[in-house]
């Protein structure tokens, strides 16, 4: 059964078909969590700290830990694929866009709005600097 499933997946050749397939197969929540876990793996490989990842993607330390364990114990082919993907310049733009979208949300309940605003301002300035240097 698994072999047939993996063989079927390997026949998907373009991103649009893959997107449609997974949109039909997975719920929206499952798609979001799968994408977040993949992004966590890329961020870990790029040397981001768990607290940076938690703040950027709004995932728990438990999720980050399980992904870190998966990356650490990944087969060589998987590790090579993750390294190749994490080195692509596109990730910098994607991560900036994710951070930008998350900055539009209000701070969490019970948080210090003044501090959250200052942190948001710092992130905005850092993104602007990174974009200017690209």
| Confidence class for position 56, pLDDT limits 50, 70, 90 | confident
Tokens of 47: 């040397």
Phi-psi label, residue 47: left if phi above 0, alpha if psi -120 to 50, beta otherwise? left
Closest CA to 12 of 21, 3, 24: 21
- Residue 41 predicted with pLDDT over 90: yes
| Confidence class for position 134, pLDDT limits 50, 70, 90 | low
Residue 72, pLDDT score: 94
Mean pLDDT of 25-37: 89
Average predicted confidence (pLDDT) for the chain: 87
Alpha helices (H) along the chain: 2-10, 15-25, 28-45, 50-57, 61-72, 76-86, 90-103, 113-133
Closest CA to 32 of 102, 87, 104: 102
119 three-class SS: helix
Reported as a single tens digit per residue, the pLDDT across 85-111 is 887 777 778 778 877 877 777 777 788
- Distance between CA atoms of 73 and 62, rounded to whole angstroms? 17
Mean pLDDT of 110-127: 88
Mean pLDDT of 9-37: 90
Closest CA to 40 of 6, 85, 75: 85
What length is written for the chain?
Answer: 134
Planar angle of CA 123, 126, 130, nearest 5 degrees:
140
In the chain, % of residues over pLDDT 90: 28
């Amino acid at each position: 059964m698994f072999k047939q499933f993996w063989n079927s997946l390997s026949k998907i050749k373009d991103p649009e078909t893959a997107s449609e397939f997974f949109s039909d197969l997975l719920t929206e929540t499952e798609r979001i969590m799968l994408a977040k876990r993949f992004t966590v793996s890329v961020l870990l490989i790029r040397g981001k700290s768990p607290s940076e990842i938690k703040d950027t993607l709004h995932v728990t330390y438990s999720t980050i830990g399980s992904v870190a364990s998966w990356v650490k114990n990944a087969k060589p082919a998987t590790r090579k694929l993750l390294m190749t993907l994490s080195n692509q310049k596109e990730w910098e733009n994607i991560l900036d866009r994710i951070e930008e979208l998350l900055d539009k949300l209000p701070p969490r309940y019970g948080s210090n709005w003044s501090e959250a605003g200052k942190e948001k301002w710092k992130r905005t300035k850092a993104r602007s600097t990174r974009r200017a240097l690209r």
